Amino acid sequence: MHRMMETDNAKMFNELFSELEHCNEDEQRKKIGEMNEVMEEMNEDEYELVFTKELFNKMYEMIKEEKLWMDNAILLLKHVGYWKEMKRILNSSFYHSILNSFVQKMIIDENEKKIEKNVKLLVDLCESYLLSNSWASQKLLSTCVPCLLKVALNKEEREEIQKEVEMALLALSNIPGYYEVIREVYLNEIKEAIQYHQEHFNLTQLAYQSAWQFLINRFDCNGRLEKVIVNELHFAREARREIEELSKYIDWKRKEEGKGKETKELLILMKWLEMLKPFFFLCKSQNEEHVGLISSIVQVYRASRDNYKEISSQCIFRLKTAAGNEAIKVDFLLKGGAIDAVLEEVAQSHVIDEQTSKYLDFFEILCERLDSEREVESDEAKRKELKRKVFETMEEEGYEDIIIFFHETYKSHDNKFIYKFLPENLSDYFVYI
């Protein structure tokens, strides 16, 4: 298998790593700090190049040979996991390493101690394990989750404590939704952390996003948790505020210089956008606060479309997901500016490709919903008025002509035919109401 050529960041990290076994404890900690700065600059390809199973196995050997102090090994693992999560990188190297099994055994052994249990060590081990692992052990969750929730509920405002809370919540947010976590174990604690922050703003931006991420990962369709998320904790309102606040700290006019240069605010914003995908897909509760959330996504789309294509595309796809959810009223999409935003994206499409097809899906969904008897707006007069508003939005800028232009059979980038089945009478679909 062809491997990517070693970059300057990868070379610098590997050199620092090779020097660790020749250093004393303090010198190691200093070098690990330098390695963290290098990780901050890495892009996804560089991360994959450096953090291999072999590297983690080497760490294990150094620990066993007492060439790497355990505290320093944990510190390095936490840095590695932190950047993996911040940059949303899927990496299974740690999972397949000997070090993974070693850390698991340490967690079990420390947790089973009846006396002289080292709580700080257990917390550090749980954080290292969850942050570094793409597939955590279901068995260990019964230890790690309660342990880290205790840290997350620390309400002291000292910077040191805030960082500890942030790391604990980030580790918890890395537990995928397909892992079972008994609701009674976490719900009251996470609610308390979120509600306290809403009153006192004690959490960092990353910690708050992570608390929500952990909760959204547990999202289900039985109604109880959804009511907590939507009506008690006001997810849509909070997500809007956080997205708008983070946007203020991003230089949208600056050209992208590679993923390694992304600011912390930008990385957290991208995590919020990622989190909206399951929320819009699963949420069945109507709430007027969804209008504001949609509006904030539209604002980010307009700010990002020139220089941050990945973000602008994410915004459009989130709006498409929202359009497919009958709990998000068409009127919410209209008021929030979603229809305008997708129309603008289609208007800028200069080639007929698969990307354009995905944007057109939005209008296929929209047409189906405006003609559906399942729509919440059952009053026929109100439904006709809504159709008229949507049509006027399209007509004002001549967008309906663009939609019709793309209403044909076309080839995608891989030369496979794609067929779009938009209504045949799309040009006057909104007229005959």
Q: Is 53 contained in some domain?
A: yes
Q: Is 102 contained in some domain?
A: yes
Q: Is 111 contained in some domain?
A: yes
How far from the centroid of its chain's Cα atoms is residue 431's Cα? Answer: 40
Q: Is 334 contained in some domain?
A: no
Task: Give the CA distances from residue 11 to residues 8, 62, 199, 253, 351, in Å, rounded to whole numbers and listed in that order.
Answer: 5, 20, 46, 32, 40
The stretch 220-249 carries a mean pLDDT of 90
Task: Give the CA distances from residue 326 to residues 79, 275, 320, 329, 378, in Å, rounded to whole numbers and listed in that order.
Answer: 42, 19, 12, 6, 13
The more confident residue out of 395 and 365 is: 365
Task: Give the CA distances from residue 319 to residues 153, 196, 340, in Å, rounded to whole numbers and listed in that order.
Answer: 34, 30, 11
Q: What does the pLDDT read at residue 388? A: 73
Q: Is 311 contained in some domain?
A: no
For residues 381 and 345, give the distance between their C-alpha atoms in angstroms, rounded to a whole number.
31
Q: What does the pLDDT read at residue 400? A: 57
The pTM of this model reads 0.87
The stretch 269-289 carries a mean pLDDT of 94
The stretch 79-90 carries a mean pLDDT of 93
Task: Report the percent of the chain where pLDDT is more than 90.
Answer: 59
Q: What does the pLDDT read at residue 415? A: 45
H/E element holding 17?
helix 8-19
Lowest-confidence range among 65-79, 179-193, 314-328? Answer: 179-193
Query: In the predicted model, is pLDDT for residue 389 greater than 60?
Result: yes
* 162-212 tens-digit pLDDT: 999 999 999 999 998 777 787 888 899 999 999 999 999 999 999 999 999
Q: What does the pLDDT read at residue 360? A: 74
Q: Is there a contact between 88 and 271 (Cβ–Cβ < 8 Å)?
A: yes
Q: What does the pLDDT read at residue 350? A: 62
Both structure tokens of 256: 């992208």
* 238-254 tens-digit pLDDT: 999 999 999 999 999 87
Q: What domain range is 94 assigned to?
A: 1-135
Query: pLDDT class for 7, splitting at 50, 70, 90?
Result: confident
Q: What does the pLDDT read at residue 421? A: 42
The stretch 324-338 carries a mean pLDDT of 91
Q: What does the pLDDT read at residue 404? A: 55
Q: What angle do CA 29, 47, 32 make, to 5 degrees?
A: 5
Most distant CA atoms of the chain, gap in Å: 79
Number of independent structural domains in the chain: 1
Query: pLDDT class for 414, splitting at 50, 70, 90?
Result: very low
Q: What does the pLDDT read at residue 1? A: 36
Q: Is 141 contained in some domain?
A: no
- Give the chain's mean pLDDT: 84
Q: Is 79 contained in some domain?
A: yes
Q: What does the pLDDT read at residue 236? A: 97
* 334-377 tens-digit pLDDT: 899 998 888 877 777 666 666 676 677 787 788 778 776 455 45
Lowest-confidence range among 178-187, 376-385, 409-418? Answer: 409-418
Q: Is 94 contained in some domain?
A: yes
